[in-house]
Chains A and B, each alone.
Chain A
Amino acid sequence: AQRVTQPEKLLSVFKGAPVELKCNYSYSGSPELFWYVQYSRQRLQLLLRHISRESIKGFTADLNKGETSFHLKKPFAQEEDSAMYYCALSPPMDGGYNKLIFGAGTRLAVHP
């Protein structure tokens, strides 16, 4: 079964500390993987996607196919990073549509 697991509901860190938001997935093929973020009183929005190999707002995510993980990392957390983070998986052209499977989300709280 296709599934995305985010084991931590809440991650609390101090400003300047490193952050790692964990994401594990179960899928037999090679899915596309995304991180979406929802800041307070804002819409859910795309943060980054694996295919782009990009760093957004200092965040990076590395796909580890052996461990089926796509953890989100930032070396120095900022207070403005406080938000809800969702990992999502998209099977390649499953049924020909853009299907996203979301994890339950991790709330990141960065304290001053």
Chain B
Amino acid sequence: NAGVTQTPKFQVLKTGQSMTLQCAQDMNHNSMYWYRQDPGMGLRLIYYSASEGTTDKGEVPNGYNVSRLNKREFSLRLESAAPSQTSVYFCASSEETGGNQPQHFGDGTRLSIL
């Protein structure tokens, strides 16, 4: 029962390198999300996808792009990594959009940019 699976779990990049974080869910959820968590702060929404074929910006989208490849998969891309993007990244999914739907989270990807 995998739920939300994120790869990789850890990654170290040099400034300027690009990378794609992968996320897949097996719960047949329509909505998927990418968050980042910095020390001493709560999770902040980067991008979300309300349904297959749609994506929208969240609170902190600058420096990122996303792709909703299909219903299961939602990837996050850093085109030119910067030290300020050092963070823990979480992917989540929920059945539908709507204020009462709980979100299910992956294990997170710890990303360090030197």
Contacts and interface: CB of A to CB of B under 8 A. Distances in A.
Interface of A: 4, 9, 31-32, 34, 43-46, 49, 51, 86, 88, 90-105
A45 B50 contact: no
A92 B99 contact: yes
Specify which of A4, A94, A100 lies most central, judged by the most chain B CB atoms within 10 Å of its CB.
A100
A94 B105 CA distance: 21
A43 B107 contact: yes
B56 interface: yes
Interface of B: 3-4, 31, 33, 40-45, 48, 50, 56, 58, 90, 94, 96-107
Given A4-B42, A9-B40, A97-B97, 20 more contacts: A32-B99, A34-B102, A43-B4, A44-B43, A44-B105, A45-B104, A46-B102, A91-B99, A93-B97, A93-B99, A96-B50, A96-B97, A97-B31, A98-B33, A98-B48, A98-B94, A98-B98, A99-B45, A102-B44, A104-B40
